[in-house]
Every structure is written in C-alpha cells, then in structure tokens.
Structure 1
C-alpha cells in the first residue's frame, strides 16, 4: 500500500518504482478476489512491465503503509526453530505449536510501540499471506493457497506471557497495540525464489541479535498451512506468523529487553525491512 492505494512495486538501479493497481481499493480487496486477480491481472505483471508502464513513478521506500489491514485470523507458531527451543529450554514439539495473535495488534512497517512493561522482547518472523485458503489443505496443495510473503515482528511481553506459569497468557502477551507489525509489502509466491534460503535478521540499535535461514524451521511452510487448515478454515488475507529463530532477549544470559528509545528492525532477504521504535 502506498499513498492509500494498492500498488505494484519493482526495483531498478536501487530505485523503487510503483504503479497503482486499478479496480481495487486495498490489498484486502485483492486478497478476497485472489483467484481472479492472479489469473487475470498478476499473470501479466513483471518488473519490466511495471518500470515501463506510463504511470510508473519513483516510490519512497520509507512511506509504505500497512499492506493487510483486516485479516480474519493471525495464527502463529511457537518454537519452530531448534536453536530458539534450546535457548528457551523447551522440548522439541511433535507437531506445530499454534497460538493466536489478535488482529487489533497489527501495525505497519514504520511502527512505534508503548512498552507494556520491562520485559518486552523482539522476534522477527516470516509471514505467510493466505490467498485462496480453505480447509484440509494437503501439504502438496499448500502453495496454491498462498498469495505471498512478508516480514513480521512478534513483539512479546514476557511477563504477561507467563504471568500464571509458563505460556499461560501466550495470546495476550503478544497482542498489545502495535505488537504485530507487518510489511513493507507482499512479495508474491510466484516472484519469490527459493524462500527457504532467505535470511531473517534482527537488529536492535544496529546490533545484530538474530540471524537464521528459513530452512532452519522445524516445520516448513507447507506443513504449517496443511496442519492449521486441518483444524480451522483459512480465509483470504489471513496471516501466519511462522516462528522466530534464536537470539531473543529472554534467551540471553543475562536477559535483555527493549527499553524506551530502542529501534528494532527486521529484514528478510528480498522481502524488505520493517522497523519498530520503542517508547
């Protein structure tokens, strides 16, 4: 989203170029019409077509807006990187550990939060954006349900998360206002080469805190889509938070957490970067 319009984006010579998408008011509208959009519009789009379009204009990459604003569901995965399970002293799960983040916690790629306490932690994650959705999606058909990928942050209040014992308030501890930023744009699955080779990188005030490849996930993207849809129906625009690697503040010795004035950035190769400022 750019200037409150859904927009095709392409890169050329370190410059972003954009072309407004006609016929839709938002990316949410596009996702709700994904099958038609994919077959009638997206099939004709390429970086070259965008850059050569008469309506193409330079884009300021700092001004992207929240791509998806009204998903129905935000299923999220805990303990999906082995190193993170080790730093959290958690046994390896036999199946995906699924919890829920609340939609009211969503925010855009240039985010600001009011710290809910003294133990607010960073987590960078790959976000899977559902396009076609459905129930009981097989692992083999999972990619057909996916529209694309984004960068996300699963910001976590560790005190509330375990206020009455380990993981007793997982959902609420990760759902304060603006604790689920996403963006900066959606990279379509067709335009994303070898997603499992991408690096996830977290920096706090410029210092690298997390770095891992998506291939290190215990349960891969196809497995997550299939497993979750075996219980709940996935709808167009739903966002799956796929888990975070090691390097979180709670897993360090001594533990460290976000404090007022900190800047927390998350980046995935080829998918862009998002930023949260703590107040």
Structure 2
C-alpha cells in the first residue's frame, strides 16, 4: 500500500493515480490521514481485501503529480530521531561509533510537507536526508524479531539542523531545539508499507542540493536497523500509532564539507527514496 495526504484528504496511490479513501469506502474511513493510524491493521486489511476494486477505481483518478501533497503523518504525538547511525557519517564528524542508539527528539510542530517552503532562521542551516519509520500500533517491549509488525510504513524526512544552536556551549548541546524550528521536519511524499519493498531493511535514499548529489546510501548500512530501533525505543517508552522515527542520516552533510555547505534562500533540496518518491523543498528568508 502507498498512502498520501492529498491536500488534506487521505488517498491511496496506484500506478501514479489517486483513490480518495472516503469516497472509495463510502465514508467508512476518515479523510484525515492521521486518524487512519489509530486503526491501522483494520484499515490495511480493508485495502488488501478491496485491492482489485481500488485499482479499477484508480484508472479515472487524478495523477499524483497534479495534487499538492501534505505530510503523510501531519500530527505525530512523538518524533524520535537517531544520531550517528551510519558509520561514515560518524567518522566524517570525528565522532565515536555508538554502542547504543543515540536518541533525541524533533518536536511535532516542526513537521511540514514534502513540497513546502522552509524559512531559514539563520545562515547555519544544514540538511540531513533520512528514512523515517511510521509506527502503526502501540508498542511496548517489542522484540526485534517482531518489530516490523508494529510498523505502518516508511517515508522520507529531512532532519534540518541549525548548527550554531546545535553546537553552542555548554554541553550537552541543544540538539532537539536546533532541529525543531518551524518547518525543520519535512516528511513525505508517500507512506509505503513494508511489503512494498523487496527488502524493507535495504532502502536506497539520496539527497540533491540544487541538482548536485550530496548524500546517497542504503539503509542496510545502518548501525542500528529498524527492528533494533523499535526494540530499543519500545523498551523505554510506549510507541504510539503515527509516531515517527527518523533513523539517521548518511555521510555527506554540508556542515563538515570543505568548503562548508549551508542552505540558502532559493535553494532546492530534493530528497528521494525507493518506492517512496521525492520531496522537493525550497527555502526563503524570514519576512521580518
């Protein structure tokens, strides 16, 4: 299943065309995509049972390219993020390889859509392409062997980061605040269920800035893979339907390049992933 938030309405994607969930279900399911995660297993079963009818309906549906998409998870209750989860990324910043996941948060008010413009609060904003896990049902003490059963799907995210705030003393630095300015968590464009992938533990992601490739990796290179992260987080907190887990960024961030690369007004940042599609975010100066 591939699910999108099409201008505020939940829609399914079949061969590049959209099927409105409310219309196709005769009102059984909500138009508000975030409400679907509360009954994810039942909703997923309905989609599978009605696959043929939904595909037939999609033939006359609008093209996904003709609709403005919002974040497929617009109102997560919790947003977790994992730092230093690719070895080369840890090395490029001179950090030690972690022995347990390094966890911080991005506050939910930072969520924005896959084509939205983001206001740059300073000249120190960096990019971080990431695969994002969407939780599909409450998870407490989940073992890695069963973790994928608690995942609704995968999407893309940018862990945008204001590096001056992030690195300012005293220690420990303000990771969560530095990564939670308004619009600093673009998410989308599609939520793809694990069965959409040949191997959900091996998804290619990439990031291009103004047409130049900055990052490319496969999630099989993660130090702590998705099952490990779900196991670790759920051993401490309760994961809730619609929660997001940013799984970490690969090497290639702008802050450690020589010369340093930062985001500037009018820049175009394209973040892509297998079966998920591409986000295209632009950047502007503050209006005040």
Query: Smaller-chain TM-score range?
Result: over 0.9
> 2:225 is matched with which residue?
220
Q: Which runs of 5+ in 2 are unaligned?
A: 23-28
Matches of 1:138 and 1:125 in 2, distance apart? Answer: 23
User: CA-atom RMSD, angstroms?
Assistant: 1.6
Aligned to 2:189: 184
User: Using the alignment, how far apart are the partners of 1:55 and 1:20 within structure 2?
Assistant: 12
Q: Is 2:79–2:107's contact at 8 Å kept on the other side of the alignment?
A: yes
Give, in whole Å, the separation in 1 of the partners of 2:7 and 2:197: 25
Match of 1:6 in 2: 10
Q: CA deviation at 1:165?
A: 4.5
Aligned-pair CA distance for 1:45: 4.7
Partner of 1:38: 44
* TM-score between the two structures when normalised by the length of structure 1: 0.93
Name the counterpart of 2:76.
71
TM-score, normalized by length of structure 2? 0.91
Residues 73 and 238 in structure 1, CA contact (< 8 A), matched pair in contact too = yes
Shift of 1:54: 6.9
Asked if 1:93 is matched to 2:98, the reply is yes
Q: In the aligned structure 2, how far is the partner of 1:205 from the partner of 1:60?
A: 23
By how many angstroms is 1:68 displaced? 1.2
Tell me what 1:28 maps to.
Answer: 34
- Listed as ranges, the matches of 1:166-177 within 5 Å are 168-177=173-182
Aligned to 1:50: 54
Paired residues in the alignment total 273
Distance 1:227 1:54 in 2: 39
Q: Does 1:19 align with 2:25?
A: no
Per-residue Cα deviation, 1:100-150 (whole angstroms, up to 9, x for no partner): 000000001112111111110001000100001321111111011000000
Q: 1:241 aligns with which of 224, 246, 251?
A: 246
CA distance in 2, matches of 1:182, 1:99: 17
In the TM superposition, residue 166 of structure 1 has moved relative to its aligned partner by 5.9
Q: Which runs of 5+ in 1 are unaligned?
A: none
Q: Equivalents in 2 of 1:142, 1:230: separation in Å?
A: 12
1:227-266 equivalences under 5 Å are 227-266=232-271
The whole-number CA distance in structure 2 between the counterparts of 1:54 and 1:138 is 38
CA contact (8 A) 2:130 2:246 kept: yes
